[in-house]
């Protein structure tokens, strides 16, 4: 079973092994035909209408802005409803340098996202701290604060790379089970328990 994304072939994606292993894991659990069809329908709708909540602090945010222009036109993929409120968004895109003082407010914004929620880390600064990695005030990767689903490397990544990363998120959503099976909430709950907000306030 391949995950179909319009205008891009399955073999054109990198790291297909991860998605294929996820599909295999889901198939092993089994599900009845009716529930399976509902899963496919709901996940198709969710994956094709992803609304981003943008948290841009530097140059990666400028690259993201170009996605909404006529040349790239992110409306083709259903990403065009970019929100400044986490309560109206499906995933958070972290773009740019994240300092320790931002960590606690960013966790609170993440918690305000409606379930199911996702995180995309954009650019070297968000992924690992970038050129400021050894600075005393910069977080060495947002994966120390939030459970990241997709990483988009670059400094800054081009708009095409951002589309690629967002389409990878679409692929992950398309193979999720909405009515049971693998439960993301457990993984997120464990992550948040291992990284309590009190840790950020001490830094």
- Residue 145 CB contacts under 8 Å (≥ 6 apart), including other chains: 98, 103, 106, 107, 139, 195, 200
pLDDT tens-digit profile, the chain (203 residues)? 456 666 666 666 766 776 777 667 666 665 555 556 777 777 777 887 888 888 888 888 888 888 877 788 888 888 878 877 888 888 888 888 888 888 888 888 888 888 888 899 998 888 888 888 888 888 888 888 888 888 998 888 888 888 888 888 888 888 777 665 555 677 778 888 887 776 666 65
Chain centroid to CA 18: how far? 15
Of residues 65, 68, 90, the one with CA closest to residue 170? 90
Domains (range + CATH), the chain:
31-180 (3.40.50.12280)
Cα atoms in the 13 Å half-sphere on the side-chain side of 197: 12
Q: Tell me the C-alpha distance between 24 and 192, whole Å.
A: 27
């Amino acid at each position: 079973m391949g995950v179909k994304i319009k205008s891009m072939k399955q073999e054109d994606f990198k790291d297909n092994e991860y998605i294929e292993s996820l599909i295999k894991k889901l198939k092993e659990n089994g599900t009845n035909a009716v529930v399976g069809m509902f899963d496919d329908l709901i996940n198709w709708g969710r994956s094709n209408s992803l609304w981003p909540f943008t948290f841009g602090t530097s140059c990666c945010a400028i690259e993201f802005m170009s996605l909404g222009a006529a040349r790239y036109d992110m409306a083709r993929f259903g990403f065009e409803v970019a929100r400044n409120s986490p309560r109206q968004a499906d995933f958070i895109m972290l773009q740019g340098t994240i300092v320790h003082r931002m960590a606690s407010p960013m966790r609170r914004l993440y918690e305000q996202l409606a379930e199911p929620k996702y995180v995309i880390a954009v650019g070297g600064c968000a992924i690992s701290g970038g050129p400021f990695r050894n600075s005393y005030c910069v977080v060495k990767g947002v994966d120390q604060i939030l459970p990241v689903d997709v990483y988009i490397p670059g400094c800054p990544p081009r708009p095409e790379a951002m589309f690629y990363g967002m389409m990878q998120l679409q692929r992950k959503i398309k193979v999720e089970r909405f009515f049971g099976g693998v439960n993301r909430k457990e993984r997120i709950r464990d992550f948040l328990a291992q990284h309590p907000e009190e840790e950020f306030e001490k830094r």
